[in-house]
Amino acid sequence: MFPDLGVCPSLAKGGTPRCAPESSRRRIPVSAWLAGVGLLIAFLSTLGCSVRAPGLSMAEGDTLVSVDYEIFGKVQGVFFRKYTQAEGKKLGLVGWVQNTDRGTVQGQLQGPISKVHRMQEWLETKGSPKSHIDRANFSNEKVILKLDYSEFQIVK
């Protein structure tokens, strides 16, 4: 038989509720509490949950994130950078895009997590009309407190 977890043990025996004396209660340092909150926010954002940092001017309830990307396939000479910039601006994202010497396209996206995830899907599946995407690698996804860029730029 399992104990009734909804009943205080001292009440279950017919007694009065007992609380730990003030002197025996452990206090958590503020720095440890803040570190825990930061870890919780980072964990929730990896699950796709939205947490809004105070004082941000972005959409209500949307965590800001930054993610690096590299796209493989036929992505050079097909206006991939131009379409990427246009799609990023349409979604309200900032960052950059450039060709590499390896024949890939790379860059960084920053903005609300829901919009960044939509852009990641676009980079993986759509791209420019004449492109052919073999694969997309995303790395260094992290929660940020403020945007590092003011617009979405094509780097030459």
Query: Which of the residues are catalytic?
Result: 81, 99
Helix/strand/coil for 105: strand
Number of CB atoms found within 10 A of residue 96's CB: 20
**DSSP H helices in the chain:** 9-12, 30-46, 80-91, 113-125
Q: Which amino acid is at 137?
A: N
Contact (CB, 8 A) for 132 and 73: yes
Q: Which of 99, 104, 155, 100 is nearest to 134 (CA)?
A: 104
Number of CB atoms found within 10 A of residue 149's CB: 15
Q: Which amino acid is at 153?
A: Q
